[in-house]
Structure 1
């Protein structure tokens, strides 16, 4: 997936740099770098997991149940991203920090982390069996990428986007709940 020049530039920013930019810039980055990428990654991983389970289901090392887990995880993630895109991100772009929706998203972030841990459990920590086929190998490579991306996505939202500007500068009155 080809990323825009703005998103490419955003890949090198650290937390402090993101904190100094308008929320709109970070939202645009999250939409392209994470939301759009997850929408490509998950269907591909689901397809490969299905193939691995169909071909190698009798193997003791086969991650039986991974396809179903990825399907459910993607449904939950898609619902989460739609809520962000339709409700929360427009508010954050206007520098409004609605505690209720943010708390819902943070709770869902915790659920996403549990789902990532379930991937690791189902795949024996992404340990390939000896002589694993190309699809199985590619699946685990993609799952590693998904885990890193989902965690980075959550981290950026939780520690930058969902935090009012006043908290970044130390000028928060304490009423924002953080």
Structure 2
């Protein structure tokens, strides 16, 4: 899938990218995940005997929320201020940690897909179950876009700046 940045972010400064990431993705994940956890708990409770019930999904989402919240706080409190100040060299360590954690987030999404049979609803699924799977699909797409903007744009800019400084 090709990464498509909104037009206002084409060639944007690190500060503009950071602002977009925090306001668009971090805020969105903080809103989405608690709602999805609540819906998953309802589905698991109401449909506990159903063979396609995603048992363990709420706990998986709750663990993912804790991991991603910790990750986002590290970005907001440590890495993003460094990048905004142009401290790209010292940011290499934190960037490598974030890249590793991004891989862990993708693995969490893969576990979610396994628990939900790839978000395929059983026949006769209730509205909550439908909403849960629609929300999970939207969340997975947004998380992928979020990670790609950080990895392929923001972190790549920092890496290029370090290489440029070393060659100067």
Q: Tell me the equivalent position of 2:93.
A: 100
Q: How far apart are the structure 2 equivalents of 1:80 and 1:138?
A: 26
> How many correspondences in the alignment?
162
Aligned to 1:114: 107
Q: 2: CA distance between counterparts of 1:68 and 1:11?
A: 33
Normalising by structure 1, we get a TM-score of 0.85
Tell me if 1:26 matches 2:38: no
CA distance in 2, matches of 1:33, 1:11: 13
Give 1:37 shift: 0.3
Asked if the contact 2:37–2:58 (Cα under 8 Å) also holds between the matched residues in 1, the reply is yes
Unaligned runs of 5+ in 2: none
The residue that corresponds to 1:89 in the other structure is: 80
Match of 1:13 among 7, 14, 19: 7
CA RMSD of aligned residues (A): 2.2
Match of 1:78 in 2: 69
CA deviation string 1:91-146 (max 9, x = no partner): 01112221110000000000000000001000000000000000000000000011
Q: 1:58 to 1:100 in 2, by over 3 A?
A: same
Indicate how the Cα distance of structure 1 residues 96 and 123 shifts in structure 2: closer, same or farther if over 3 A, else same. same
Query: What corresponds to 1:148 in structure 2?
Result: 141
Q: 1:132 to 1:166 in 2, by over 3 A?
A: closer
Quick one: structure 1 residues 66 and 160, their matched pair in 2 at CA, closer, same or farther if it must change by over 3 Å?
Answer: same
How far is 1:164 from its partner? 3.0
Report the Cα distance in structure 2 between the residues aligned to 1:41 and 1:158, rounded to whole angstroms: 22
Normalising by structure 2, report the TM-score: 0.90
Mapped to 1, the partners of 2:53 and 2:33 lie a distance apart of 19
Moved over 4 A (4+): 173-176
Tell me the secondary structure at the aligned position of residue 163 of structure 1: helix
Where 2:156 maps in the other structure, the secondary structure is coil
Q: What corresponds to 2:48 in structure 1? A: 57
